[in-house]
Amino acid sequence: MYYELIEFEVANLKHSYSNLLPVNCILILEIAMQKYMIEPPLLKPGDEVRIIATARFVEKDLINRTVNFLESYSLKVSLGKNLLGRFHQFSGTISERVSDLQQAIDDPKVSAVWIARGGYGTVSLLDYIDFKNIIRYPKWMIGYSDITGLHTHLNNLGLASLHAVMPIHLNDSEYSEGFNGMMNWLFGESLCYNLVNLSQHSEANIQSSVIGGNLSVLYSVLGSSTKPNTEKKILFLEDLDEYLYHVHRMILNLSRNGLFRPVSAIILGGMTNLRDNPIPFGFSPEDSLLEIIGESGIPVFAGLKSGHIAPNHPIPFGTPASINSDKITFDHIKL
């Protein structure tokens, strides 16, 4: 109720004094209303990027390629203490992976944290992390797939993050556009992608911000403090290697948990290598989503090559995003 009252008062201020308030004050009010989030500072030559692995183990050769890539942008590189560790399929025990993530968050010299690869295991760390210093020292958290839980947790705290390609794909030329887009964003450029409008809305003009990520991970955090707050947001969904009926089940569960009712729009990204049963399920992911939202009027889009699909275009979570007809544009918050 307290936050609803603040939002009501801020909205009144904007309505009453929008002609008198400078643009930077308007943006501060938007952040207070949680329309946008706190954006970490842009990168500049000499800034430090920390590489850690919160899920699967990584090989030393991958880390060498990652260091070379970042140094080509005149960035300093530091490595998590347990980055090259291994515990079964993980890069270390939970306590070791927690330690690397906590140190990266707490270090004021670190401007961005790039997760080396996904897999499974990041959500296991969240309840052991003290996140207060990432608000004190905002920094870009970069990754996708299993990193969705970390993105959502940070977004719930009001901090923007970057859903983007990870070092595991550095040797794959299909992802070069994704790496270029990621670095362009981090150094201050805007991003723009084409979309396919799947809904009955012939024209779309939506001003909001994007959250979301991997459908399976979002499904797994429902009922916890990491459940995403989709109020007035554009919800992005992607996944890999799932049965079509299970995609339907997960989308249905998100809907029944109330994630769709307050959204501004939904975007489907890469739905890659999906499987079917001998008796076909009969619904594509797009069909499932459109059936489940029914006549709600929620704008639905597809065609965004982000997630488990090359080139995995970067998506800033929590910064200004606008959908105009069949394009989405991401801009930095300029105070």
pLDDT, one tens digit per residue, over 98-143 is 999 999 999 999 999 999 999 999 999 999 999 999 999 999 999 9
pLDDT at residue 21, as a whole number: 44
**pLDDT band at 14; cut points 50, 70, 90:** very low
Instruction: Give start and end residues of each alpha helix (H) in the chain.
Output: 2-17, 23-32, 60-71, 94-106, 132-136, 148-156, 176-186, 215-221, 244-256, 285-293
With a cut of 50, say whether residue 29 has pLDDT above it: no
Instruction: Identify the bridge partners of residue 110 per DSSP, sorted by sequence position.
Output: 48
Average pLDDT in the 40-60 region? 97
In this predicted structure, the answer to whether residue 202 has a pLDDT above a threshold of 70 is no
* Rounded percentage of the chain residues whose pLDDT exceeds 90: 85
pTM for this prediction: 0.90
| pLDDT (0 to 100) of residue 24 | 44
With beta carbons less than 8 A apart as the criterion, state whether 268 and 300 touch.
yes
- Do 55 and 90 touch, CB atoms closer than 8 A? yes
Q: What domains appear along the chain, each with residue ranges and CATH number?
A: 2-32 (no CATH), 48-186 (3.40.50.10740), 191-330 (3.50.30.60)
Average pLDDT over residues 289-298: 94
Residue 6: band (very low, low, confident or very high) from pLDDT cuts 50, 70, 90: very low
Residue 203 clears pLDDT 80, i.e. is over it: no
Q: For position 325, what pLDDT does the model report?
A: 85
